[in-house]
């Protein structure tokens, strides 16, 4: 599945990815394009989640986040032997010390073997191999991550460090060619003689030194050409190690993110049921926290077909959609999710169509764009299992046709191999839905805050919880009260109320 930038932005996935903290260029590249685990890849996804669980235990041990004997609330995997945690934490520090030191040298191996590496490239290759050796020594002291190994590169390291000194610099040392040592000795002696010679004696000495320098350059070119030929034989091992570094780095970043935000490991559902308890949207929760407010955690139980959410304006219905979609995207990219518990099935595609995401291409209206996106989704998911979240579908057309189209869509989705979640203000849509949730709404009575910010006044009175509702239950009529709390013009309010 393609994780488009629009889907990432609208769901909040981009916000999450920007808060990953991989330390190497390979981990950063992997984090920008996380792998999607589709139906049929449950074993691979569980392996990834097992690895994140292991990373979380290691971070907890290394960071002092919890005592070794405590149970990890975020992780369902068996805990490590407490006696091993201290050594593992030390090894983790060795790994994380090395990860930021790597440079991306993939471009150096995209070449014709007949084009020799220059000295800078050979320095970078040596730096990579020396750092890789240090990292793999630390990595072998960690509990094993499943499916993650580093191809041995000892012979390649010998090529760029024939003296075994493990110094950070690279030079074409005498050991590379039998003619280099005597040539350089003669050149050094000549330079000493040039410094001691008079002006009349220098020209032949300088000419000889030039000849030696040219010869040295030719020998060094021969050495670099031979090194390039030999190192290019290890090209696939270099690339495999870079991939392994990126995967390890991303696993540790996923685990650190789970620790920071107290995420939970999702359990993969074998059936069609989707259960999210204590669900939250981290981006919205962060914005609320900055204002001194708290996110109301949500509980959702969905099954095949379309579930409808109705409720008051400003009641958080769109946030419910975004939070659900974000959980699915994170799970199917091998992340822990922002919830207290999660049981999720896998889909071939997850889509989110928001009512306020603006006009589309080709001059389409917002309604035209919704229809266009929906049609494309239904076409490309033919015969495949998908999840669809729709926000106020068809609100951009006249209410009678919009309500009819929304009801038709809910009924049609119930005939497909899909799960859908739709918010609506149209009455009658929930009649044909598989399930119906309603935002609790403006249920709190508060006096004495008339002079405060209108948005905060609404937030105090709003109960954002999703409550199970009967099919066909009428949509709440809170527009008048919302307008009053927002201090709409009194004359307009009077006309509005009289016309109800």
**Which of 81-85, 95-99, 313-317 bottoms out in mean pLDDT, i.e. has the lowest?**
81-85
Residue 5: burial class (beta carbons within 10 Å; 0-12, 13-18, 19+): exposed
Helices (H), 99-234: 119-139, 154-160, 180-196, 202-232
Q: Please check whether residues 345 and 480 belong to one and the same domain.
A: yes
Does an H or E element contain 498, and which? helix 490-499
Q: Please check whether residues 150 and 204 belong to one and the same domain.
A: no
Q: Is residue 2 part of a domain?
A: no
Q: In the predicted model, is pLDDT for residue 138 greater than 50?
A: yes
Q: What percent of the chain has pLDDT over 70?
A: 90
Mean pLDDT of the chain: 89
| Cα distance between residue 146 and residue 386, in whole Å | 29
Q: Which residues of 98-129 are buried (b: 16+ CB within 10 A; e: fewer)?
A: bbebbeebeebbeeeeeebbeeebbbbbbbbb
Q: Say which CATH number the domain at 124 has.
A: 1.10.1420
Which residues form the domain of 277?
263-499
Q: Please check whether residues 186 and 60 belong to one and the same domain.
A: no
pLDDT of residue 455: 74
Q: Please check whether residues 50 and 70 belong to one and the same domain.
A: yes
Q: In the predicted model, is pLDDT for residue 77 greater than 60?
A: no
pLDDT of residue 87: 81
Q: Is residue 28 part of a domain?
A: yes
Tokens encoding 204: 């032949």
Mean pLDDT of 295-310: 95
- Alpha-carbon distance values, 383 to 137, 269, 281 (Å): 48, 20, 31
Point out which residues pair with 466 in neighbouring strands. Answer: 439
Q: Please check whether residues 45 and 105 belong to one and the same domain.
A: yes
Mean pLDDT of 110-133: 95
Q: Is residue 7 part of a domain?
A: no
Q: In the predicted model, is pLDDT for residue 80 greater than 90?
A: no
Which pLDDT tens digit goes with each residue over 177-214? Answer: 999 999 999 999 999 999 999 999 999 999 999 999 99
Q: Please check whether residues 214 and 112 belong to one and the same domain.
A: no
Q: What pTM did the predictor assign?
A: 0.89
Mean pLDDT of 105-134: 95
Q: Is residue 334 part of a domain?
A: yes
pLDDT of residue 322: 97
pLDDT of residue 460: 76
Residue 351 in 3-state DSSP? Answer: strand
Q: Is residue 483 part of a domain?
A: yes
**Which of 206-210, 344-348, 372-376, 462-466 bottoms out in mean pLDDT, i.e. has the lowest?**
462-466
Which pLDDT tens digit goes with each residue over 242-287? Answer: 999 999 999 999 999 999 999 999 999 988 899 999 999 999 999 9
Would you place residue 113 in the very low, low, confident or very high pLDDT band (cuts 50, 70, 90)?
confident
Mean pLDDT of 14-40: 96
Q: In the predicted model, is pLDDT for residue 479 greater than 60?
A: yes
Q: Please check whether residues 181 and 243 belong to one and the same domain.
A: no
Q: Is residue 10 part of a domain?
A: no
Work out how many domains the chain is built from and give that number: 3
Residue 1 in 3-state DSSP? Answer: coil
74 or 399, greater pLDDT: 399
Q: Please check whether residues 179 and 300 belong to one and the same domain.
A: no
Which of 30-44, 392-406, 446-460 reaches the highest mean pLDDT?
30-44
Q: Please check whether residues 189 and 45 belong to one and the same domain.
A: no
Q: Please check whether residues 245 and 344 belong to one and the same domain.
A: no
Residue 308 in 3-state DSSP? Answer: strand
Q: In the predicted model, is pLDDT for residue 149 greater than 60?
A: yes
Q: Please check whether residues 219 and 239 belong to one and the same domain.
A: no
Q: In the predicted model, is pLDDT for residue 136 greater than 90?
A: yes
Which pLDDT tens digit goes with each residue over 323-370? Answer: 999 999 999 999 999 999 999 999 999 999 997 655 454 556 888 889
pLDDT of residue 74: 54
Q: Please check whether residues 268 and 332 belong to one and the same domain.
A: yes
Mean pLDDT of 291-317: 91
Q: Is residue 493 part of a domain?
A: yes
Q: In the predicted model, is pLDDT for residue 173 greater than 90?
A: yes
Q: In the predicted model, is pLDDT for residue 443 greater than 80?
A: no
Q: Is residue 149 part of a domain?
A: yes
| Cα distance between residue 426 and residue 475, in whole Å | 7
Would you place residue 482 in the very low, low, confident or very high pLDDT band (cuts 50, 70, 90)?
confident
pLDDT of residue 181: 96
Which pLDDT tens digit goes with each residue over 31-73? Answer: 999 999 999 999 999 999 999 999 999 999 887 544 333 444 4
pLDDT of residue 71: 42
């Amino acid at each position: 599945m393609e994780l488009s930038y629009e889907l990432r932005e609208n769901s909040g996935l981009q916000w999450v990815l920007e808060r990953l903290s991989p330390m190497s260029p390979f981990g950063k590249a992997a984090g920008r394009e996380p792998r999607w685990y589709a139906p049929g890849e449950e074993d691979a996804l569980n392996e990834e989640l097992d690895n994140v669980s292991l990373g979380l235990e290691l971070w907890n041990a290394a960071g002092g986040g919890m005592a070794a004997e405590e149970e990890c609330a975020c992780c369902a995997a068996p805990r490590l032997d407490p006696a091993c945690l201290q050594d593992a934490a030390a090894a983790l520090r060795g790994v994380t010390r090395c990860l930021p030191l790597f440079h991306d040298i993939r471009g150096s191996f995209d070449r014709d073997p007949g084009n020799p590496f220059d000295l800078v490239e050979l320095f970078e290759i040596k730096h990579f191999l020396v750092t890789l050796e240090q990292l793999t020594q630390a990595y072998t002291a960690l509990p094993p991550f499943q499916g993650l190994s580093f191809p041995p590169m000892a012979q390649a390291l010998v090529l760029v460090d024939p003296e075994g000194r493990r110094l950070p610099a690279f030079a074409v040392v005498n050991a590379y060619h039998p003619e280099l040592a005597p040539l350089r000795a003669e050149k050094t002696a000549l330079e000493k003689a040039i410094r001691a010679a008079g002006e009349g004696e220098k020209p032949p000495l300088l000419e000889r030194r030039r000849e030696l320098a040219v010869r040295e350059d030719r020998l060094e070119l021969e050495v670099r050409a031979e090194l390039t030929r030999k190192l290019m034989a290890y090209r696939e091992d270099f690339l495999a190690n870079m991939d392994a570094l990126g995967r390890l780095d991303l696993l540790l970043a996923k685990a650190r993110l789970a620790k920071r935000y107290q995420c939970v490991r999702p359990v993969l559902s074998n059936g069609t049921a989707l259960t999210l308890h204590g669900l939250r949207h981290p981006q919205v929760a962060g914005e609320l926290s900055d204002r001194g407010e708290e996110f109301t955690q949500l509980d959702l139980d969905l099954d095949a077909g379309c579930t409808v959410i109705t409720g008051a304006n400003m009641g958080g219905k769109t946030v419910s959609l975004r939070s659900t979609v974000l959980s699915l995207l994170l799970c199917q990219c091998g992340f822990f999710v922002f919830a207290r518990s999660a049981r999720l099935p896998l889909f071939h595609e997850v889509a989110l169509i928001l009512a306020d995401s603006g006009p589309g291409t080709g001059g389409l209206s917002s309604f035209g764009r919704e229809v266009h996106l929906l049609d494309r989704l239904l076409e490309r998911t033919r015969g495949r299992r998908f999840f669809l979240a729709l926000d106020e579908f068809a609100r951009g057309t006249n209410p009678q046709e919009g309500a009819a189209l929304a009801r038709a869509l809910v009924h049609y989705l119930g005939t497909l191999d899909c799960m859908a979640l739709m918010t609506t203000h149209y009455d009658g849509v929930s009649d044909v839905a598989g399930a119906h949730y309603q935002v609790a709404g403006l249920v709190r009575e508060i006096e004495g805050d008339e002079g405060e910010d209108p948005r905060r006044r609404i937030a105090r009175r709003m109960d954002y919880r999703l409550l199970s509702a009967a099919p066909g239950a009428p949509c709440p009529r809170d527009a008048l009260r919302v307008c009053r709390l927002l201090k709409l013009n009194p004359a307009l309010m009077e006309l509005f109320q009289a016309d109800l």
